[in-house]
Structure 1
């Protein structure tokens, strides 16, 4: 196990890996959606600046997460190859790097747009870095439920950066991502349960058991399905979004039921290698992308 890095050996890819690029891609997309569905659009250069600030800010929060979690990352098979536990980047350098990027993203967004958007971005970085990473993640099985707010702010940032205000739609988009996060991550935690237990992270299946987690995946998916239809009920979106949301919700519920009905032993652990949970996790990624695509098409192309 290596916990000391050598920055001189770190290539550009290591510094980029600290930003969690796969997570950033979804964050930037939801931020773009929030910006694009607003009544007023920014210019192309301004839009790129807004997205860049969201991207850098989210990446900075991810780097702080990697710096703080370097001890448990080294224990878990899934994360042991990250730059800090693998010894390719010094922890101190990673922290400085993250703080500089966080401050830069907030200041640039403030100067380029407005204080409201910059404040939401700053709070989202603080929430993920401090509230979730340093407190909730290691202290409660509800870490993902509460911590899900951290990844739900980008639509509000995108909207606020263009409008200098908030409205019902960006708040609903926040709620959608917020409620999508638990079934998404709990599906992952079902088949990564041993890793989390080894690292001492109180994920729901570790503390409450797999069967309890399966029921919660279904319950949160049902709640999410209701929330996704609020834009249709309030008249913010039309038939296209309503159709997309309904079909995608049916799909998510199908996978959630499959997770619940997975062949289990007496403790609730899967007898089939958690294949339903893995399929539900992959579908959840596609679900959020397609749902927001439907929202964009409805609001932008069919308006």
Structure 2
């Protein structure tokens, strides 16, 4: 479709359409966990540098979202959850989304390198590449392990934040990475349980499609169990402490209880209540990550590092 025909049919795309391409809801989690990485690090960051770093990390995350929407426009048009996005809804052309993603990617990486250091910039560049190419273009459409391996893309922001402050990687930043990495599969599989028809229609080999819902329920439970040592282990690193441990015990207990409830259900039970348990676990899992990374920041304040981090 030509630009002229497109504008005649849909009108000029608005600013909100381009913002939507950046997946702002996902960007909130990216920014929040990156801030936690900066704040928890043992090295002070000037407030101007810290704010600039957060801005460029957010733009990098948004750029990968735009590239993902460009590549996935065909399946987004099929899935109920995504058909209202700017490209399948006809408000933005795919070429515009691709251009926006590429330009913002280059800008974010270069500016983060100039503002902080090239280790942080390199991690940001790898994150964008991993999400846009490794996950979106390869894993998502080829293997039911798409979420397991692809979850690494969303796990890098606290490592990037830590690198902004320290110029490197440490055991603590790797543990924060692992927290998100191990959390991602049960979080998304809970969603897939009540959105399976979308993935069926789009031909995406989500675990619910390739192995069925009973197998997915087992995976939700065992991956949540496997998350336990990571979630609790962070309490015994330099970024943890009693506040974090208390938060982790409560939130992980809720997550385990929800995963066990999912494990014990069958499709008759789930359909009878409209997948109420699965939807609740999905919502609780979102709160889980925000509370735990919020606790890391609170713990940093108690350690006396938060004031130093932005002085």
State the TM-score, normalized to the length of structure 1: 0.95
Residues 187, 285 of structure 2: 8 Å contact kept? yes
- In the alignment, is residue 24 of structure 1 matched against residue 18 of structure 2? no
Larger deviation, residues 239-248 vs 135-144: 239-248
- Equivalences for residues 48-127 of structure 1 within 5 A: 48-127=51-130
Deviation at 1:258, TM superposition (A): 1.4
Equivalences, count:
298
- 5+ residue gaps in structure 1? none
Partner of 1:50, secondary structure, is helix
> How far off is 1:263 after superposition?
4.2
Task: Work out whether 1:214 is the aligned partner of 2:217.
Answer: yes
CA distance in 2: counterparts of 1:239 and 1:302, whole angstroms: 11
Using the TM superposition, give the Cα deviation of residue 89 of structure 1 relative to its aligned residue in structure 2, in angstroms. 0.6
1:273 and 2:274 aligned: yes
C-alpha distance in 2, partners of 1:54/1:69? 22
Q: Pairwise CA RMSD of aligned residues? A: 1.5
The corresponding residue for 1:258 is 261
Instruction: State whether structure 2 residue 287 is matched by structure 1 residue 286.
Output: yes
Q: Deviations over 1:84-141 (max 9, x none)?
A: 0111111111111110000000000011111100000000000000000000000000
Q: 2:309 matched to which residue of 1? A: none
Question: Secondary structure, in 3 states, of the residue corresponding to 1:61?
Answer: helix
C-alpha separation in 2, matches of 1:301 and 1:239: 10
Task: Give the distance between the partners of 2:266 and 2:211, measured in 1 at CA.
Answer: 18
1:180 alignment counterpart: 183
SS in 2 for 1:89: coil
Q: Could you tell me whether the CA contact under 8 Å between 2:40 and 2:239 is conserved in 1?
A: no
Is the contact between residue 155 and residue 174 of structure 1 (CA under 8 Å) also seen in structure 2? yes
2:39 aligned with 1:36: yes
1:95-244 matched pairs, under 5 angstroms: 95-234=98-237, 236-244=239-247
Residues 226/5 of structure 1: CA separation in 2 closer, same or farther (3 Å cut)? farther
Larger RCO (CA within 8 A; separation ≥ 6)? 2
State whether residues 154 and 180 of structure 2, in contact with CA within 8 Å, keep that contact through their aligned partners in structure 1: yes
Matched-pair contact (CA < 8 Å) for 1:215–1:260: yes
Name the CA distance, whole Å, in 1 between partners of 2:45 and 2:59: 19
For the residues of structure 1 that align with 2:46 and 2:303, how far apart are their CA atoms? 21
CA contact (8 A) 1:53 1:106 kept: yes
More deviation in 226-235 or 248-257?
A: 226-235
Q: Contact 1:263–1:271 (CA<8 Å) still a contact in 2?
A: no
SS of 1:14 mapped into structure 2: helix
Using the alignment, how far apart are the partners of 1:191 and 1:241 within structure 2? 31
CA gap of 1:105–1:262, structure 2 versus 1, over 3 A, is same
2:307 matched to which residue of 1?
none
Instruction: Give SS of 2:144's match.
Output: coil
Q: Shift in Å at residue 299 of structure 1?
A: 2.2
What TM-score, normalized to structure 2?
A: 0.92
Secondary structure class of the residue paired with 2:267: coil
